[in-house]
Chain A
């Protein structure tokens, strides 16, 4: 399962533009991502961060291209994408267990008719990667915010994706929980050589964990290491002078 870090896989996003009834949400986005790197997207509210992720997922109409090159130089425009949504707004009383969510995502036979041992073992194994295997038979609504995010992370990693998209993955989780989550993502990224794209508002955590930062406000305003971006004029005019020890 483990892939060695190669740094040779590239995700190239070219000229990505999203319009909603003639209003431009994001325009002409050009981004290169390398495997094994955690890239964070920052920007003010309404900058189009979530829109960018949804365009990459193919959920909303966009122009422009997404291209993924693996280490052997093979090219595809449909890479396997793992996605961890923002704090999800589902019905907490719905009788849907962690097993149900996983099995419905991984198989076709209706999960309301049969529980498969094979899939059960696969899910347990998946959940153990993020230390929540005890939660397999719990209802989704019974999980704490931190547990739910770990479950969603485990789901995004099954099967191991080429690109992992994280949208504000730790909203509603305490600070310690956040750090645990990011430590986990960092480690998984190294183990599986993932390309990680993270949308977050938490600047100190980005400073600590991101390899690269992209400042987005309808367009890419600037990109580079956290230190470079945090000291750029565009960043300072958006977030103020942000004193962080690197």
Chain B
């Protein structure tokens, strides 16, 4: 299905590392996903949702466990369903103001990690070692189908972004102010929460549970050090995510390291640079 795109890639980027199909797939995944992560990250950072997205990443373990118990071969669907249920639960408990959001997310996150590890470590399902690839991800193992899935997710994410961005921005400043402008604050926040849950879960397989959140947070946090308005924030964040993605993938090929982690490391370097620039200015 992606043959035509492979031909284009061969012509445009005639490098030795691009001759393998797995590298082409990885490259496509990176150029599709990193700008999206950069863009979504700006709102995650502004809305102080870093801990939330982290816990969604961790909950993938339980998603896999649930899928295995239910006998689903492709755990992606059970992961998505579980992360969606978890984020709805967190949002509702948060709304009821029983306890601080940090505590609530912490409780949900640790409970779901524990449940996932307990189920997956049971001998009956093959032991935990079988699933460690989910922890650090496997970018080079991404399949054609997964790239198409990623593209579809990205298209939906962009559409939703257009529909809710302005509402979310005003809500992030003050919910009462947003309500006075006729914004349905709860609906907008819920939509964004679900969007993050789905995007994070779809990408877990190739970035890894341990690093998925860094990919979302680091570019936006770096851009924030130097941006003065939302346009700069989005633009810098997308560029940083994209450049880290390409350079990270390239380096991981030559060094022989895990691609997801190498990409995150480059984002972290960008954070240090932007932090220093932000301080000097």
Judged by DSSP, the binding face of B is helix
Given the interface pairs A97-B230, A105-B181, the reply to whether A110 lies near B165 with Cβ below 8 Å is: yes
Give the contact stretch, choosing among B18-26, B168-176, B262-270. B168-176
Provide the bound-state CA to CA distance between A107 and B169, in Å: 12
A87 and B147 CA atoms in complex are apart in Å by 47
Residues of B within 8 A of A139 (CB): 228-229
Residues of A within 8 A of B46 (CB): 91, 94, 96
Bound-state Cα–Cα, A197 to B78, Å: 52
Q: Judge whether A26 is part of the interface by a CB distance below 8 angstroms.
A: no
- A side interface size, CB within 8 A: 41
Residues of A within 8 A of B230 (CB): 95-97, 100, 111-112
Among residues of A, the one whose C-beta sits closest to the C-beta of B220 is A95
Contact of B229 among A89, A99, A165 (CB under 8 A): A99
In contact, A111 and B228 (Cβ under 8 angstroms): no
CB-based contact B176/A59 at 8 Å: yes
Interface locus among A40-48, A78-86, A125-133, A218-226: A78-86
A91 to B44, CA, bound (A): 13
A140-B229 contact, Cβ under 8 Å, with A57-B179, A57-B180, A94-B46:
no
- Asked whether, in the complex, the Cβ of B176 is within 8 Å of the Cβ of A83, the reply is yes
Residue in B161, B167, B174 whose beta carbon sits within 8 Å of that of A85 in the complex: B174
Chain B residues whose CB sits within 8 angstroms of the CB of A97 once the complex forms: 228-230
Kindly identify which residue among B165, B175, B228, B231 contacts A59, using a CB–CB cutoff of 8 Å: B175
Instruction: For A88, give its contact among B162, B174, B179 (CB under 8 Å).
Output: B174
Q: Are A110 and B162 in contact (CB under 8 A)?
A: yes
A134 CB-CB contact with B under 8 Å: no
Partner of B173, one of A93, A99, A101: A101
CB distance from A218 to the nearest CB of B (A): 21
Are A105 and B48 also in contact (CB < 8 A) when A97-B230, A110-B161, A137-B229 are? no
User: Residue A52 at the B interface, CB < 8 A?
Assistant: no
Report yes or no: A96 in contact with B180, Cβ–Cβ below 8 A.
no
If A97-B230, A112-B230 touch, whether A82 touches B180 (CB-CB below 8 Å) is: yes
Chain A residues positioned under 8 Å from B228 (CB to CB): 95, 97, 137, 139
Contact (A88, B173) CB under 8 Å given A95-B224, A108-B166, A112-B231:
yes
> Nearest B residue to A83 by beta-carbon distance?
B180
Other than the known A103-B166, A104-B166, what 7 A-B pairs have Cβ atoms closer than 8 Å?
A96-B46, A96-B169, A96-B230, A100-B169, A109-B162, A111-B165, A137-B228
Task: List A residues at the B interface (Cβ < 8 Å).
Answer: 53-54, 57-59, 81-83, 85, 88-91, 93-97, 99-101, 103-105, 107-115, 137, 139-140, 152, 155-156, 165, 167
Between A and B, 6 residue pairs with Cβ closer than 8 Å are: A54-B176, A59-B179, A82-B180, A88-B173, A100-B229, A111-B230
